[in-house]
């Protein structure tokens, strides 16, 4: 068995440090390399103990977690997992991801949540250990640049095509690259399953909305799917497409996790394949595990367009690697928005030409 990876535990609460220490010491994969109660102590221990990974709180005295994270990623980069409480705002967490944090774990909020917390922490540390450090550089959030919407009112129309996106570790960064690059007149609905704790997907939706010319919001159960709109699965809820009386609708629900995750990329992509058939366009982005692979296969089987992010630009090449056998295109992050838009245009134009009696 390989040597355990050392984790520096950073939290101003001695009680919380003890909880995290017990979780780490109870695993066979990780060991505690050191502990720190402030950001300054964390920086010193990063140099003295040279940990493989850091579990970092955001709220600390003297030097807070964001400032400590900024120093670590610029001066002594290594994978960092944010371990935070509900009091941390969504924007603060997203800023930590901008600074280069790999994963996010919520502290247990009530008695009895320790087992679930332990499972989440170990999964996050595993993901962090696989992260590609060169893709964790600081990424400043995009400034608002929304332009005037096109003159026609798309909200009156139902979507006849859909883009489905599955993402996990590194996904928020990837989505900030893809969604703002999609054209304002995209003739398709966009549905996203991003593995992320509840309470933070609303902030992610707001940030994507501010940076994009498409309207972005958390999906609501039963709402119509419209072209030019982006529907983000709420944290801890599945998102699927379904056929409604007046056209395609969003289905948001809390049925059991699939392969340990909720929202499930597999459920989302398979549902888009059922509802939109060859007018489904799907991509699997960075993340650990294989969520999305079977869903991408379902899209390919109905004649939809399939894509997976490439290894070089993925923070973790787990989900894209599992999906690659079902992907017609393997693309770098910077080329995915263009590829998705081109596939949507091609499929919508083919349908329009067929309906008008044009060549097939």
Is 105 within a domain? yes
Q: What is the CATH number of the domain that holds 284?
A: 3.40.50.180
Question: For position 43, which CATH number holds?
Answer: 3.40.50.2300
Q: Which residues are catalytic?
A: 168, 195, 291
Is the Cα torsion angle 320, 325, 326, 331 positive or negative in sign? Answer: positive
Domain membership of residue 120 (yes or no) is: yes
Q: Which of 135, 165, 198 is the last residue of a domain?
A: 135
Residues 110, 193 share a domain: no
- For residue 181, being part of any structural domain is answered with yes
Within the chain, which residues score under 70 in pLDDT? 1-2, 86-88, 110-112, 142-156, 350-360
Domain co-membership, 19 together with 120? yes
Same domain assignment for residues 71 and 165: no
Domain boundary among 103, 135, 167: 135
Domain count across the chain: 2
Q: Which 3 state secondary structure label does DSSP give 165?
A: strand
- Same-domain check for residues 212 and 333: yes
Note down the domain range covering 303: 157-355
Would strands 280-284 and 238-243 be described as parallel, antiparallel, or unpaired? unpaired
Is residue 152 assigned to a domain?
Answer: no
Q: What is the pLDDT of residues 232-291, one digit of tens each?
A: 999 999 999 999 999 999 999 999 999 999 999 999 999 999 999 999 999 999 999 999
**pTM of the shown model:** 0.93
Task: Clarify whether residues 95 and 51 are in a common domain.
Answer: yes
For residue 351, what pLDDT is reported? 60
DSSP state at residue 227: T
Residue 198: predicted pLDDT: 82
Q: For position 21, what pLDDT does the model report?
A: 97
57 in any annotated domain: yes
pLDDT digits (tens, 9 = 90+) for 122-161: 999 999 999 999 999 888 776 656 655 554 444 558 999 9
Q: 105, 135, 165: which is the final residue of a domain? A: 135
Residue 320 and residue 244 share a domain: yes
307 and 165 share one domain:
yes
- 204 with 101, same domain? no
The reply to whether 140 falls in a domain is: no
Residue found by looking up tokens 């056998």 in the block:
325
DSSP symbols for 269-336 = HHHHHHHHGGGEEEEE-SBSS-TTHHHHHHHHHTT-EEEEE-TTT-SSBSHHHHHGGG-SEEE-HHHH
Residues 129 and 36 in one domain: yes
Cβ-count burial of 84 within 10 angstroms (0-12 exposed, 13-18 middle, 19+ buried)?
Answer: buried
Pair 278, 228 in one domain: yes
pLDDT of residue 170: 96
Does residue 105 sit in the same domain as residue 206?
no
Q: Is residue 148 part of a domain?
A: no
Same domain, 101 and 199: no
Sign of the CA dihedral with 326 first, then 330, 335, and 339 last:
negative
pLDDT at site 355: 44
Whole-number Å distance between alpha carbons of 237 and 230: 16
């Amino acid at each position: 068995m390989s040597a355990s990876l050392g984790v520096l535990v950073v939290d101003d609460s001695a009680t919380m440090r003890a909880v995290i220490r017990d979780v780490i010491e109870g695993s066979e994969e990780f060991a505690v390399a050191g502990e720190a109660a402030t950001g300054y102590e964390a920086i010193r221990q990063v140099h003295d103990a040279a940990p493989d990974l850091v579990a970092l709180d955001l709220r600390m005295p003297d030097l807070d977690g964001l400032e400590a994270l900024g120093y670590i990623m610029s001066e002594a980069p290594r994978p960092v997992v944010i371990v935070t409480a509900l009091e941390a705002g969504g924007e603060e967490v997203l800023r930590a991801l901008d600074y280069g944090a790999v994963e996010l774990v919520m502290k247990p909020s009530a008695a009895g949540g320790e087992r679930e917390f332990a499972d989440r922490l170990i999964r996050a540390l595993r993901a962090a250990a696989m992260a590609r450090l060169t893709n964790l550089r600081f990424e400043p959030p995009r400034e608002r640049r929304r332009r005037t919407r096109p003159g026609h009112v798309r909200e009156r129309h139902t979507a006849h095509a859909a883009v489905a996106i599955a993402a996990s570790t590194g996904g928020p960064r990837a989505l900030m690259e893809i969604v703002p690059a999609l054209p304002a007149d995209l003739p398709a609905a966009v549905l996203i399953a991003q593995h992320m704790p509840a309470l933070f997907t609303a902030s992610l939706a707001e940030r994507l909305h501010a940076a994009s010319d498409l309207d972005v919001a958390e999906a609501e159960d039963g709402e119509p799917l419209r072209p030019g709109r982006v529907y983000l699965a709420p944290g801890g809820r599945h998102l699927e497409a379904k056929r409604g009386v007046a056209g395609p609708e969003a289905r948001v629900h809390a049925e059991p996790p699939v392969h340990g995750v909720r929202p499930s990329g597999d459920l989302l992509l398979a549902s888009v394949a059922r509802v939109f058939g060859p007018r489904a366009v799907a991509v699997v982005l960075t993340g650990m595990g294989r969520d999305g692979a079977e869903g991408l296969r379902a899209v390919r089987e109905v004649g939809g367009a399939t894509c997976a992010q490439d290894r070089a630009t993925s923070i973790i090449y787990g989900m894209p690697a599992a999906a690659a056998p079902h992907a017609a295109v393997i693309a770098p992050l910077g080329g995915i928005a263009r590829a998705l838009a081109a596939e949507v245009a091609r499929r919508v134009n083919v349908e329009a030409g067929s309906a008008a009696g044009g060549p097939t």
